[in-house]
Structure 1
Amino acid sequence: MSIVQSFDAITDRLQHSAGSNAVFGEPIVAEGKTIIPVARIRYGFGGGFGAAETATEIDVFDEEFGEEEHDGDERPTGEGGGMGGGVDASPVGVVEITETETRFVRFADRRRLAAVFFGGLVLGGLLARRGREE
């Protein structure tokens, strides 16, 4: 399979998996409410290919192939390529639908809570230090 074919296959899979079912879960009906789970889906992929130019004066090739075999000619060099990718899925919240309203309920983001907590600690420390100086 060529690199172009591999890349096309990956992008086709991503297009088919990136539909609304990947972000919104199956609705759950309970106690007069319809709950729809919501997730954040992130895709990332990359690839590359490279080839070295031919070398005419590299001692390593002289040692490996010998002067007789390549006597003054251009020596072979390498080339290669690769691809990779990943998917990250994390719950974000739910859409809650009742007879009277529809609302989005966000789950607590631990990173945001940690940032607020540590920010509060820093602010508290600064205020305490300022109070001691006065």
Structure 2
Amino acid sequence: MKALLDAIVAKCKATSAIAAFSGTGGPFWDIAPEATSEPFMVITQIGGTENKLGFASGAYVEPVQIQFAVYAVGAAVAAGHAETLCNTFDALTSLTVTGGTSRRPLRRQPVRLAADEVDGNGKRIYQASVVYDFCVQRTLGV
């Protein structure tokens, strides 16, 4: 796990654009898809248990939501929340979500979503385990 996190941290530090915050009704953080072409991910904490994830990674440039409190990788590194970051990734691998905890890499197999798995703004809600795989693969380029 430490080696994985170190690789993620290194990738994030090498990327300058981890930003574009906007929204209404409180903190609503997102990522600008045009900000970078680097295949990395950003996880931002909105507050409570509803969080938005943004990916800049080729065909998969869209915000997605999961019901789990997480920190932005870049922000966690800057704030020294290494332990929180590690716990977040550990939790994402074991979190029981709709469809169980089987890990299906998003880059090879997009998740099939039911109508009730799309929020009011049309944002897709992915399984946490799939999001984790996607984060790791896209960040490390594997």
Q: Same fold (TM over 0.5)?
A: no
**If the length of structure 1 is used for normalisation, what is the TM-score?**
0.17
Greater CA radius of gyration, 1 or 2?
Answer: 1
- Write 1 or 2 for the structure with the bigger share of helix: 1
- Write 1 or 2 for the structure with the bigger share of strand: 1
**If the length of structure 2 is used for normalisation, what is the TM-score?**
0.17
Higher RCO (CA 8 Å, separation ≥ 6 residues): 1
